[in-house]
Structure 1
Amino acid sequence: MNPLGTASVAALRQYVRYADANGIAVEPLFDRAGLQPAVLDSDDGRIEGEQLQAFIRVLAEHTGNPVLGLETGDYVQPGSYSVLGYITMSCVTLGEAVTRIAPYEKLVGDMGTTRLQMQGDSASLVWTCNFDDPVVWPQVVDNVFASWINYARWLADSADASPLEVRLCRPSPGADYEQAYTARWQCPVQFSAGENSVTFAQSLLATRLRQPDPLLRKTLEAHALSQLALLDTDTDLTTRVKQSIQKQLAEGVTRQDMVAEDLGMTSRTLQRKLSQDGVSYQRLLDEVRQQMAEDYLQNTDMSIPDIALRLGYSETTSFHRKFKSATGKTPGDFRRQ
């Protein structure tokens, strides 16, 4: 599997918004990075991590901007974080939102990993970047921290939600550019540090957010867990096939030829490639159906016949039989428990 994993199209879009706002044509950059413009048409699609790294590199080279990552952080939106963004929006406090980053950040992409450290009256978010291109990784770290800070201020509805300190492994971009960091973040910034971290007062974690919705958060987290299950241990191809199947089933359709077309190949080619990965289309369909069935039963009020229809079963009895074979329980028993 690609050592840089995959990244959500939502993460890519943030850089594209920056390019559009600055009058930069993205199609030539996409071509150089091995991307197709049509990838932006998908709300829940993913690209290879190497493709995202390549795109950021060509964008950095095109602009010659040493603080590209810092400035692209100005274009963060809830959707930039995939379903994680909407989970954090529905949290009650900023602290609750912060604790959701590590479990679900893989949905945004495999760009890096986060850990939360508490010390005295302060707390730090430490981020380890997985990208290895020397041109790219400093910009990615800048982007992640700039996006976090901007998004936290938006969630808390307060421009005062500023860190105590930011530490960056990257070398200084120069005295003139350093001012851009302190102007945006309103705190000291240390370059050539031993880690990438954002430190803030623990009291900030108690800040109430603008639109808490615990019930919605529960539903979104269930959906996020099912998305993580699709990503976990899959090859890039099986991940994309499962995502395409899930997208179709959400519309009550399930056809292998449509999945193949969605992935830009023929049905026969899809079958051959899945066989090379040691799986079949039917097996992936069964797995996605089961995950979605459990999600619907736990987190919606849809009737069991409606769930069966949504998942492409011609008869409710077929759904009952398949579900009980997988879990040992009927759909009704599963829902009650």
Structure 2
Amino acid sequence: MVGLGSVSVPVVKQYLRYVETLDIDVSALLLSSDISATMLTQESERISGEQLQAFLTNLIITTDDPLFGLKSGAFVETGSYSVLGYITMTCATLEQALERIQPYEKLVGDMGVTSINYLPQQLVINWHCAYTFAEVREQMVDNVFASWLAYARWLSGQELGPLEVHLQRAEPASELIHYYQQIFACPVLFSQPSNSLILPRKYLNIQLRQPDHSLLQTLELHAAGQVSALGEAHSFSIQVKDIIRILLAKGISRKDMVAGQLNMSERTLQRKLQQEQTCYQKLLDEARLSLAQQYLTETQLAVDDIAMQLGFSETRSFFRSFKRWTGQTPSLYRESSSHKSG
């Protein structure tokens, strides 16, 4: 897929849930956008980005409402984000949910790219829209930010709100600005360098309402396979590292099982990693370190159990590796982390 890529059917259906509350001929809207109503009955189907851009262009003309992007954000559901939505629903904290956006957002669609900046007191979430029509981009950004906020509030069961919202679009008419402030309940700045939500960093620790670690692992394995099938644009090594991390959470570190998840041989896996100037062991070490730090700071698991969980045959091998990675023993790292959080 070239051009604007593709987008999952649930994205279109969120807009349609809003459209159905209006006096609009939905069938005519879809027909003029070259979108099959039959295709929209299949959640796993995708349409082209060009079709979505045409659909939104027609929606802009039909509604003549410069706020439809914001208003349609209220119609978000877990399924609006495809598998990513169900993955975030099973995360334990908002931080875990945010960490899943970049690896799996392509499953939702190729509409744009998310990046997150972690500052000492703030969290800056940027979204760069990939679409080419300026009016469509403005409505999509409004929809994405309003949807994110509504979904985060549902996930957490709390009335979360950003500190500020930054939008690249020019400032709208004064009577429209009130609606932006009503949705986001904070200052909304226009003509900014990027489209960004600025949040308190402490939000990362917010507990979500339906954590399910076992289901999360299963969904991530499924999502990793889907991303691979889409010919995902991230580097191959990122795909491999994601799968390693997911399998490690089940105590599995075998290269052949990682290769199996990608439907290839170990030799092909090794060759493709070499093409990106890396190797399986390096990615395994990085994934082990990340999980080890998580286990040491967020659980009371004994160091022996952590070593076994990460696929080390002996605890002392884990000790040596962890000290090489961090300069500290696992016990000292846990102790120093507990002092910082205290």
TM score, norm. by length of structure 1: 0.69
Q: d(CA) in 2 for partners of 1:150 and 1:113?
A: 20
Q: How does 1:59-138 map to 2 (within 5 A)?
A: 59-138=59-138
Residue in 2 that maps onto 1:58: 58
Residue in 2 that maps onto 1:40: 40
Output the amino acid matched with 1:192.
S
> Residue deviations 1:151-183, cap 9 Å, x none?
001101011x10000000011221111111111
**Contact 1:10 1:82 (8 Å CA) reproduced:** yes
Q: d(CA) in 2 for partners of 1:31 and 1:197?
A: 34
Residue in 2 that maps onto 1:239: none
Name the SS of the counterpart of 2:118 in structure 1.
strand
Residue in 2 that maps onto 1:173: 172
Output the amino acid matched with 2:25.
A
Output the amino acid matched with 2:52.
L
Q: d(CA) in 2 for partners of 1:120 and 1:226?
A: 35
Q: d(CA) in 1 for partners of 2:64 and 2:157?
A: 33
> Residue deviations 1:275-302, cap 9 Å, x none?
xxxxxxxxxxxxxxxxxxx9xxx79xxx
How much does 1:4 deviate? 0.4
1:205 aligns with 2:204: yes
How much does 1:26 deviate? 1.2
Output the amino acid matched with 1:96.
Q
Output the amino acid matched with 2:205.
A
Output the amino acid matched with 2:56.
I
In the alignment, structure 1 segments of 5+ residues that lack a partner are: 235-293, 300-321, 330-336
Q: Cα gap change, 1:326/1:131 in structure 2, threshold over 3 Å: closer, same or farther?
A: closer
Q: Cα gap change, 1:43/1:140 in structure 2, threshold over 3 Å: closer, same or farther?
A: same
Residue in 2 that maps onto 1:226: 225
Identical columns (%): 42
Q: d(CA) in 1 for partners of 2:130 and 2:266?
A: 41
Q: How does 1:24-35 map to 2 (within 5 A)?
A: 24-35=24-35
Q: d(CA) in 2 for partners of 1:117 and 1:328?
A: 35
Q: d(CA) in 1 for partners of 2:133 and 2:76?
A: 23
1:183 aligns with 2:182: yes
How much does 1:326 deviate? 5.2
Q: d(CA) in 1 for partners of 2:92 and 2:179?
A: 32
Q: d(CA) in 1 for partners of 2:266 and 2:194?
A: 48
**Contact 1:2 1:49 (8 Å CA) reproduced:** no
Once superposed, which parts of structure 1, at least 4 consecutive aligned residues long, lie more than 3 Å away? 325-329
Output the amino acid matched with 2:31.
D
In the alignment, structure 2 segments of 5+ residues that lack a partner are: 234-242, 249-259, 268-310, 312-342
Q: How does 1:225-304 map to 2 (within 5 A)?
A: 225-232=224-231
How much does 1:25 deviate? 2.0
Q: d(CA) in 2 for partners of 1:52 and 1:107?
A: 15
Residue in 2 that maps onto 1:269: none
Q: d(CA) in 2 for partners of 1:328 and 1:190?
A: 51
Residue in 2 that maps onto 1:22: 22
Q: Cα gap change, 1:233/1:116 in structure 2, threshold over 3 Å: closer, same or farther?
A: closer
Name the SS of the counterpart of 2:209 in structure 1.
coil
TM score, norm. by length of structure 2: 0.68
> Residue deviations 1:97-154, cap 9 Å, x none?
1111111110000000000001220011011100011221100010110000110011
Q: d(CA) in 2 for partners of 1:23 and 1:206?
A: 43
CA RMSD for the aligned pairs?
Answer: 2.4
Name the SS of the counterpart of 1:47 in structure 2.
strand
1:158 aligns with 2:158: yes
**Contact 1:131 1:137 (8 Å CA) reproduced:** yes
**Contact 2:4 2:50 (8 Å CA) reproduced:** yes
> Residue deviations 1:69-124, cap 9 Å, x none?
11110100000000000000000001111111111110000000000001220011
Output the amino acid matched with 2:189.
Q
Name the SS of the counterpart of 1:125 in structure 2.
strand
How much does 1:22 deviate? 1.9
**Contact 1:67 1:173 (8 Å CA) reproduced:** no
How much does 1:233 deviate? 6.0
How much does 1:59 deviate? 0.7
Output the amino acid matched with 1:182.
Q
Q: d(CA) in 1 for partners of 2:180 and 2:101?
A: 23
